[in-house]
Structure 1
Amino acid sequence: MQQLLTTEQMRAADQHTIRREQITENDLIDRAAGAFVRLFAVEYPDHNIPVDVYCGPGNNGADGLVIAGLLQQMGYQHLIIHLCDFAGKAGAAFLVKLEWLRKKQLNVRSLDTIADVKTASDGVIIEALFGSGLNKPLGGEWSELIRLINQSGAHIVSVDIPAGLPSEGVINPDGSVIEAELVISFQRPKINFFFPESAAALSRFIIADIGLDEVFIQQQQGVFHLVTENDLRQIIKPRKRFSHKGTYGHALVIAGHEDTMGAALLASSACLYSGAGLTTAAIPSSGLTALNTALPEVMYVPAQRLTDNGSLQSYSAIGAGPGLGKSTETLEIVRLLLSAGKPILLDADALNCLAQEKTLLEQVPAGTILTPHMKEFDNLFGKHASWWERIETARIWTKRKQSVIVLKNQYTFTIDEQGMVFINPTGNPGMAQGGMGDVLSGIILALLAQGYLPAEAAITGCYIHGKSGDKLATNQATIRASELAAGIPQVLFELTK
Structure 2
Amino acid sequence: MKILSSSQIKECDSATIEKGISSISLMENAAKKCANWIVDNFKSNQNFSIFAGNGNNGGDGFVIARMLYEKGFDVEVFIDENNSKFSEDAKINLNKIKLISGITIKDYSEFDNRDNSVIIDALFGYGLNRELSDDFKNLIENLNQIQASKISIDIPTGLFADRMINKNAAVFKADFTLTFQFYKKSFLHPETEKFCGKIIVLDIDLDEDFINEAETDYFVIDEILIKKIYKPREEFSHKGTYGKSVLVGGSYGKIGAVLMSTLSALKTGSGLTFTIAPKCGNIILQSQVPEAMFIDSGENHINEIEIQDKAIYGIGPGLGKEIETQKALLEFLENYRNSVVLDADALNIIAENQKLNLIPKHSVITPHPLEFERLFGKTENSFERLELAKQKAEELQIFIILKDHHTVVITPNQKVFYNITGNSGMAKGGSGDVLTGILTSLISQKYDIEKACVFGVWLHGKAGDFAAVEFSKEAMLPTDLINHISTVFKHSR
TM-score by length of 1: 0.94
Instruction: State the 1:421 CA deviation.
Output: 0.4
Which residue identity lines up with residue 60 of structure 2 in the other structure? D
1:183 equivalent to 2:177? Answer: yes
Tell me the residue number matched to 2:386.
Answer: 391
Q: Do the aligned residues in 1 keep the contact of 2:312 with 2:440 (CA within 8 Å)? A: yes
Which residue identity lines up with residue 320 of structure 2 in the other structure? G
Tell me: CA distance 1:117–1:74, structure 2 relative to 1, closer, same or farther (3 Å): closer
Tell me: CA distance 1:121–1:336, structure 2 relative to 1, closer, same or farther (3 Å): farther
User: What CA deviation, in whole Å up to 9, does each residue of 1:89-114 have, x standing for no partner?
Assistant: 43222212111111112333342xx6
Tell me the secondary structure at the aligned position of residue 143 of structure 1: helix
Q: Pick from 212, 216, 240 the counterpart of residue 218 of structure 1.
A: 212
1:102 equivalent to 2:98? Answer: yes
Q: Do the aligned residues in 1 keep the contact of 2:247 with 2:261 (CA within 8 Å)? A: yes
Tell me: CA distance 1:121–1:199, structure 2 relative to 1, closer, same or farther (3 Å): farther
CA distance in 2, matches of 1:422, 1:209: 21
Tell me the secondary structure at the aligned position of residue 54 of structure 1: strand
- What is the root-mean-square deviation of aligned Cα atoms in Å? 1.8
1:132 equivalent to 2:126? Answer: yes
Q: Pick from 439, 444, 456 the counterpart of residue 439 of structure 2.
A: 444
CA distance in 1, matches of 2:188, 2:488: 23
Within 5 Å, give how 1:364-403 maps onto structure 2. 364-403=359-398
Q: Do the aligned residues in 2 keep the contact of 1:254 with 1:283 (CA within 8 Å)? A: yes
User: What CA deviation, in whole Å up to 9, does each residue of 1:184-213 have, x standing for no partner?
Assistant: 101112121111112431221101111102
CA distance in 1, matches of 2:340, 2:204: 44
1:265 equivalent to 2:277? Answer: no
Percent of residue pairs bearing the same amino acid type: 33
Tell me the secondary structure at the aligned position of residue 410 of structure 1: coil
Tell me the residue number matched to 1:5.
Answer: 4
Tell me the residue number matched to 1:19.
Answer: 18
User: What CA deviation, in whole Å up to 9, does each residue of 1:208-255 have, x standing for no partner?
Assistant: 111102231132111210112122222122221331111111111111
Q: Do the aligned residues in 1 keep the contact of 2:186 with 2:193 (CA within 8 Å)? A: no
Q: Do the aligned residues in 1 keep the contact of 2:303 with 2:325 (CA within 8 Å)? A: no
Within 5 Å, give how 1:161-180 maps onto structure 2. 161-180=155-174
Tell me: CA distance 1:171–1:484, structure 2 relative to 1, closer, same or farther (3 Å): same
CA distance in 1, matches of 2:323, 2:209: 54
Q: Pick from 339, 348, 352 the counterpart of residue 343 of structure 1.
A: 339
Instruction: State the 1:473 CA deviation.
Output: 2.2
CA distance in 2, matches of 1:322, 1:39: 44
Within 5 Å, give how 1:202-351 maps onto structure 2. 202-304=196-298, 311-338=306-333, 339-351=335-347
Tell me the secondary structure at the aligned position of residue 271 of structure 1: helix
Tell me: CA distance 1:155–1:459, structure 2 relative to 1, closer, same or farther (3 Å): same
CA distance in 1, matches of 2:81, 2:298: 72
User: What CA deviation, in whole Å up to 9, does each residue of 1:424-480 have, x standing for no partner?
Assistant: 121112222221000001000001111112211111111111111112222331321
CA distance in 2, matches of 1:87, 1:143: 17
Tell me the residue number matched to 1:57.
Answer: 54
Tell me the secondary structure at the aligned position of residue 26 of structure 2: helix
Q: Do the aligned residues in 2 keep the contact of 1:117 with 1:145 (CA within 8 Å)? A: no
Which residue identity lines up with residue 206 of structure 2 in the other structure? L
Which residue identity lines up with residue 11 of structure 2 in the other structure? A
Tell me the residue number matched to 1:29.
Answer: 27
Tell me the residue number matched to 1:145.
Answer: 139
CA distance in 1, matches of 2:81, 2:404: 38
Tell me the secondary structure at the aligned position of residue 21 of structure 2: coil
Which residue identity lines up with residue 175 of structure 1 in the other structure? A
Instruction: State the 1:136 CA deviation.
Output: 1.2
Instruction: State the 1:24 CA deviation.
Output: 2.0
CA distance in 2, matches of 1:85, 1:272: 65
Tell me: CA distance 1:247–1:186, structure 2 relative to 1, closer, same or farther (3 Å): same
Which residue identity lines up with residue 49 of structure 2 in the other structure? D
Deviates more, 1:100-109 or 1:243-252: 100-109
Which residue identity lines up with residue 429 of structure 1 in the other structure? S
Q: Pick from 55, 67, 74 the counterpart of residue 70 of structure 1.
A: 67
Tell me: CA distance 1:86–1:448, structure 2 relative to 1, closer, same or farther (3 Å): farther
User: What CA deviation, in whole Å up to 9, does each residue of 1:8-65 have, x standing for no partner?
Assistant: 1111110000001x22211111111111111111111x22111101101111001100
Gaps of 5+ in 1: none
CA distance in 2, matches of 1:435, 1:247: 29
CA distance in 1, matches of 2:377, 2:103: 55
Which residue identity lines up with residue 267 of structure 1 in the other structure? S
Tell me: CA distance 1:337–1:106, structure 2 relative to 1, closer, same or farther (3 Å): farther
Tell me the secondary structure at the aligned position of residue 61 of structure 1: helix
CA distance in 1, matches of 2:320, 2:113: 55
Which residue identity lines up with residue 17 of structure 2 in the other structure? I
Tell me: CA distance 1:334–1:453, structure 2 relative to 1, closer, same or farther (3 Å): farther
Tell me the secondary structure at the aligned position of residue 475 of structure 1: helix
Q: Do the aligned residues in 2 keep the contact of 1:428 with 1:466 (CA within 8 Å)? A: yes
Tell me the secondary structure at the aligned position of residue 168 of structure 1: coil
Which residue identity lines up with residue 368 of structure 1 in the other structure? S
Q: Do the aligned residues in 2 keep the contact of 1:121 with 1:154 (CA within 8 Å)? A: no
Tell me: CA distance 1:458–1:193, structure 2 relative to 1, closer, same or farther (3 Å): same
Tell me the residue number matched to 1:84.
Answer: 80
CA distance in 2, matches of 1:330, 1:173: 42
Q: Do the aligned residues in 2 keep the contact of 1:226 with 1:422 (CA within 8 Å)? A: yes
CA distance in 1, matches of 2:318, 2:167: 34
Tell me the secondary structure at the aligned position of residue 282 of structure 1: strand
CA distance in 2, matches of 1:121, 1:430: 36
CA distance in 1, matches of 2:298, 2:310: 16
Tell me the secondary structure at the aligned position of residue 133 of structure 1: coil
Q: Do the aligned residues in 2 keep the contact of 1:254 with 1:303 (CA within 8 Å)? A: no
TM-score by length of 2: 0.95
Gaps of 5+ in 2: none
Instruction: State the 1:121 CA deviation.
Output: 6.0
Q: Do the aligned residues in 2 keep the contact of 1:120 with 1:152 (CA within 8 Å)? A: no
Which residue identity lines up with residue 139 of structure 2 in the other structure? L
Q: Do the aligned residues in 1 keep the contact of 2:51 with 2:121 (CA within 8 Å)? A: yes
